[in-house]
Structure 1
Amino acid sequence: MSLVGLTKLVVEVLLNAFLLIVLLTARTLHTPFTIYLVNLVIATLLFIILFEPISIMYSLDAFRSRLGEKVCGLFKYATYNLPDVIVQTHIVITLNRVWAILKPHHYQRRHSRKLAIGFCLWTWVYPHVIVVPGLILDATVYNIPVTQISFCMLNMKALRGWLMARASAMMLLPILFLICANVCLMFWRARWFKREVSIVVQDCTDVTEKPVSTAATTPTTVKRENSRGLLLLIGLTVSMAVCWIPGATCMMYMTFASGLKSQNGPDLMTWAKVSGYMFSMQTIVDPVVIILTFRDFKKVAKSYFTNLVNISHKKSLHP
């Protein structure tokens, strides 16, 4: 299991690091919207660096007993805080795409880098305000020593109310919002497509009466560009729903069950392992979705690879 986790860690770091380097170094990608993607990748990389190595060490008996309370506190921060930053970044990206698709001209006039940076700062401040007080309360009042249970975990019975509020506000409600926003956008897109088809049919019937001006194609061009943003948004939302809903529901059930005496119920250990694995796959799925659906990034990445191949070819010819 540790070998699989180590392999996954290497893939995650390389994939997200490559994505971050391209987004930061390619001048053609330096747009206000790219700031949201950079924020998402940075939060993902921090989660990978802080969560994955400690999780691997906790899975090994040789390291488990050597990890103290400080490492446990860092592990709890990475487990409960950084994922919420990723969720809030998804919400901000969704709001940005909704704005760009529904009001494209207003979006082009009003949206700026300063506004994007402000939204990204919100994705970090808001989760810390909600999560950090609970972590401090757990560390100072309700802490379960690592030596007592040979693992690092929150005192779920004592913090049941806070965990329920955190899971609802930071996981379930945002996921429901993302799904509803995408469904509404797809319905809007379908209605717009029907309207455009009817306009094209009418123009074809009246083509001999009045020539089509070049200015009339501008709104269609804007809509075509926004359809690419809709594809990126749908991809990120689907990946988040698939990877996060099992973990969120497992967390909610475990929090509720901590105050119940009934022994009946699903196998929580299996459920937690499966949902945890799906949750950790988000760090791979998000970069893949961005690479496949963000058309400008694909062009830049292709040029990067072409330049690397040319450089290596020249070095082979002139050692």
Structure 2
Amino acid sequence: MFNTTVNFSVELSNGTTLSPQSRVVWPFDSIMTLTCSILMAILNSALAAIFLVKRDLRSAFASYLTALLLFNVLVSIHGFLYVIKSQYPVYMRSHRLCDFRLYVSWVVTGIPLNLHVLITINRIWAIAFPMSYRNHHSPRLAWMLVAAVTVYVHVVCLPGVVLDGIYYRMPVEKGCVINTLAQPRWNQTAMLLIFEFPVAFIGVSWIYLLAKQRRHRHSVGTIALVAMGTQVQDGPTPPRNENTGKMQSNRRRFSRGFVVFSALTLSAVLCWTPYETYYVIWAFVDLNETDQRFVMLCLGLYLIQPVLDPVLIVLTMPDLRRTIRGIFDKMKAVFTRS
């Protein structure tokens, strides 16, 4: 099955192909896509279920992480459909199935990247305006913002997909790809707003927030030292200052949130930048030849990024690791008893 010659159509987020004119024998792309899609679906769905079931993990910030995991599960559908298109192209001649695939390619895959933008905005709010963040941010507001991002991606991407299905769909012999030549302005606008801008925004914002976080930690540490010095002057056995304890607790909470944010941001920037850079060049410049090794690198990084999200979240959240360890201990006890 994997030794057939397939059209080298490494799918971009918008359903077009990375190298439309290249035909190579490359069975590894289907194997890699299928493997990453299975891991993507299993890891993201399992971790999302833990966030939804465990009440002690249902913080406002965790709401964004849960939404990201759930949409990563939906993104795995794109990988499964790609394998079907590559290995069994006859099934993609169904107009409805092709419509669904293009919807997933353009709309569904664009939502997780923009959720990374939402997480970035959340961290800007938390670090730059901590009082406002503590007073106004809540899980309800977080889910409302997630819904707003979902609607935004649909508003930008869905019209082009619908118009392609009604007016511009290419013959089935061309494969299930969107006819971007018939809608060049929409193609470029959607590409820049949904796929290119988020990568640039979260990368630049991370540098800004890194500097802001360091200043924040320094200021909190200075205030805590002053408070401790005041306590020492008051007597030989001073009582614990509640404000100092709260400041230290806030410092630890903001630090943990920034570590999680940094891990997700860096993985998104590193994995998406080559992919989106190639697409910018391909969309605006006519490329006759493409280095297949670079294309393979772009595809691999793109596929691995949603797999990394749940792994990085677990590695950077001690409370979550303890919860997962407890779940495994209970499962081990059940199997040992039986």
Q: In which range does the TM-score fall when normalised by the shorter chain?
A: 0.7 to 0.9
1:168-222 deviations in Å (ceiling 9; x for gaps): 1112212221112211111112223344555566667766524572322311220
Check 1:134–1:205 CA distance in 2 against 1; reply closer, same or farther (3 A cut): same
**Equivalents in 1 of 2:221, 2:135: separation in Å?**
28
Q: Who is 2:105 aligned against?
A: 79
1:269-296 deviations in Å (ceiling 9; x for gaps): 5544432332121220111111111232
| Deviation of 1:114 (Å) | 2.2
Q: Who is 2:51 aligned against?
A: 23
| Deviation of 1:134 (Å) | 0.8
2:68/2:115 contact within 8 Å kept: yes
**Equivalents in 1 of 2:46, 2:33: separation in Å?**
20
| Deviation of 1:113 (Å) | 2.6
Q: Who is 1:306 aligned against?
A: 329
Provide structure 1 residue ranges, at least 5 long, that are not aligned to the other structure: none
Provide structure 2 residue ranges, at least 5 long, that are not aligned to the other structure: 1-27
1:98-153 deviations in Å (ceiling 9; x for gaps): 2223333432221123211210111210000000111112222221122x22x321
1:57/1:64 contact within 8 Å kept: yes
Structure 1 length normalisation: TM-score?
0.87
Q: Who is 2:203 aligned against?
A: 179
Q: Who is 1:37 aligned against?
A: 65
Q: Which amino acid aligns with 2:260?
A: L
Check 1:167–1:71 CA distance in 2 against 1; reply closer, same or farther (3 A cut): same
CA RMSD across the alignment: 2.2
**Equivalents in 2 of 1:201, 1:121: separation in Å?**
43
Check 1:27–1:205 CA distance in 2 against 1; reply closer, same or farther (3 A cut): closer
Q: Does 1:54 align with 2:78?
A: no
| Deviation of 1:226 (Å) | 0.7
1:76/1:153 contact within 8 Å kept: yes
Q: Who is 1:227 aligned against?
A: 255
1:249-271 deviations in Å (ceiling 9; x for gaps): 222111112xx5x75xx516554
2:72/2:306 contact within 8 Å kept: yes
**What SS does structure 1 have at the residue aligned with 2:272?**
helix
1:12/1:284 contact within 8 Å kept: yes
| Deviation of 1:157 (Å) | 2.2
**Equivalents in 2 of 1:65, 1:5: separation in Å?**
19
**Equivalents in 2 of 1:283, 1:30: separation in Å?**
21
Check 1:193–1:33 CA distance in 2 against 1; reply closer, same or farther (3 A cut): closer
Structure 2 length normalisation: TM-score?
0.83
1:48-101 deviations in Å (ceiling 9; x for gaps): 12x1111111221xx112322222221111111112111221111122222223
Q: Who is 2:92 aligned against?
A: 67
**Equivalents in 2 of 1:162, 1:310: separation in Å?**
56
Q: Who is 2:5 aligned against?
A: none
Q: Identify which of 205, 209, 214 aligns with 1:190.
A: 214
Task: State how many pairs are aligned.
Answer: 305
**Equivalents in 2 of 1:303, 1:55: separation in Å?**
37
Identity %: 24
**What SS does structure 2 have at the residue aligned with 1:267?**
coil
